[in-house]
Each structure stands twice: as structure tokens, then as C-alpha cells.
A and B are shown apart, each in its own frame.
Chain A
């Protein structure tokens, strides 16, 4: 670890401690005690974000609609259990055109997509090289050489 890295880690730790005290205080609190070495820029922006990033609540209509959808799904799961179909997939489609639930349990969708792209690029490059090699080989096989082979 270089001196600069260690300095960055110490700054990040100072920021983290300050955020702990700022965010544990009441939302209306203007500021919180900070380490003297804390960057004033960090302090200024953190207090501003604390003021402006308030939690939001969905509409009552949405809350109740989703609650009844979950209740329907729960009822169908209970029926499936009672019928001895434990472990069978539960049909509860989300908005049309989106992925099945299975995809939502993955570790990281972004990092899963990357190997696919890299794999595709490598396959494409390999096919191009193979194609070029085949064309070159065909060109070396002149009609005369083919005749000789025959």
C-alpha cells in the first residue's frame, strides 16, 4: 500500500465516522461533530444531502394494490403446498417484458453480463481469423495444384 493509498483510506474512514454521527442524529439536525481533519467539502455536501435525500413513501393505492397481489400469491402458495406441490414454481408474473424472478436473485447482473460480451467478442474474433485462414488456404489451392492433386 502506498503512502497516497493510506491517506485516501484515512480520509474515507474520517468521512465514514462523520456520516455515522450525522446520519444517526435527527434528520432536522443541521450538522454533527466531526474530526478536525475532515475535508470541509465532504462536510458541506453531506449536510446538504442529509437535508435533501428524504425517504419517500409510495401512494396508499399502490401499497394496498401490491398488498392484495401478495396476498393472492400467498394463497396460491398455500394451495400448492396443500396439494403436495411443494417446491413447484409459483406463477406470479411481474410487468410484461421483464425478466423472470430467477434473474433477480443473482449476485450481480452487471458483472454477469460482462463475461457474455467478452465471450462473444472472442468467438467473433476467432471466427474471423478462421475465415481469413480458410480464404488464404483456398487461394493457395490454384486450379493447377488442384489438378495435380487429382
Chain B
């Protein structure tokens, strides 16, 4: 018997008697992959960069991100029969519960990876690879430093806040999608994000005048 995959958020919807319609954006691809597992390749290509980005920002290391991504997709293919489509009309034509299901697997793979690794990476995330090359070297250096500081501030956040920030900013997920991935209510995710941004902002000193700004204003 297939298991429920959406956790508490899905259960709340069912309890509320919401009608479940089959309108998942990925439905044709999932059905094709169920009929013929080799068709899973289309789903893999569609979500590879998103899952990899999530793992990379969570783990801060390319090799570990590759391991987590690999496990996520292998597990998703092996467990595709467990996936239950749960998109609702209110979620619109872009809804994909497959994406949420996939990210729940990725979240667990990343959590396991973090638990299994014996030490934290010696170097912070290689932000240089994320930032496109700029013609102005000075601007590029400033931007790299800013990105590195931002990443370090995010890395120090509690796990749920950090994940919520990454899913919102890197993977462009809505609050409702993040709620399903993390198994929290939408309200709880909104508060998580708000508090996470405040914490990162305070750490980065956003809105505070730097010493050079003060000197200039005199």
C-alpha cells in the first residue's frame, strides 16, 4: 500500500475535506516513468539543478552535494510507486507535488549527510563559482566578500530557518511549497523566514552605517 508523502500538511488538507484533483504539472512525466522507468530521465533533467543547488547551499561542498543529489534521485526512482499526487485546484496549474516529494527526499538525504560527515568543510562555500565573472575586479571582490559573509550568516542559522531561506531564495519555492517540504504550517514557515531574515540582517549589519559612511557624512 502506498504511504502518504505529504506529512502533516497533506493530512490537514485531507482532514479539511479538500477535493484532490489530478492536476500536477509533472503528472504526464510521472505516469510515463511509472510505465517505463527509463522515462524518469525527463524528471531528472527537470529537477537536477534545483536539487543540486539545495544540497550545495545546505552542505557547502560540491562533492557532498553530488552525493546527496545522487541518493535523492536514485531513491526517487526506486520509490516512484510510493508517490501520491496531491495537487489542489487552488494551487494553480504550476503545482507540482512531485517536486515537493522529491525535495522531502532531498531534505532527508542532506540531513543524513550532515549527520554522517565527521567534520565541517575547512573552507566556506566557494561563492566565487556562483558569481559570474565581472569586468570590474574591485566590484567582483566586494561582491564575493558580501556573498561569503551572507552565506556564513545563513549557515549559522538553525536547520529549519536555513532550509526555508535556501528553498525560498535559491529554489524559488512558495511559502506553501516550503511548508509541505518541511512538514510545517504556512504560518510557521512565514515566521521562520521572517526571523531568519532578521537574524541574517543583524549579523550582516544591514541598515547600519559603516565607519566609512559615517566619516563621509561629516
Contact = CB atoms under 8 A, between A and B. Distances in A.
Interface of A: 8-9, 11-13, 15-16, 19-20, 23, 39-42, 44-46, 48-58, 62-63, 66-67, 69-71, 73-75, 77-78, 89-90, 92, 94-95, 97-99, 101, 103-110
Contacts of A55: 49-50, 53, 170-171
A49 B150 contact: yes
A52 B147 contact: yes
A48 B57 contact: no
A103 B104 CA distance: 11
Interface in B151-176: 151, 154, 159, 165-166, 168-172, 174-175
Contacts of B150: 48-49, 52-53
A44 B201 contact: yes
Contacts of B66: 58, 62
A58 B77 contact: no
Classify chain B's interface size. 35 or more
Contacts of B197: 15, 41-42, 45-46, 49
**A-B CB proximity, top 7 nearest:** A74-B37, A45-B201, A44-B206, A52-B147, A12-B194, A12-B190, A53-B169
A58 B77 CA distance: 19
A9 B191 contact: yes
A3 to B, nearest CB: 16
A92 B74 CA distance: 7
Interface stretch (B12-20, B124-132, B133-141, B210-218): B124-132
B31 interface: no
Contacts of A50: 169
Contact of A58 (B65, B74, B175): B65
B41 A56 contact: no
Contacts of B108: 103-106, 109
A15 B193 contact: yes
Contacts of A52: 127, 130-131, 143, 146-147, 150-151
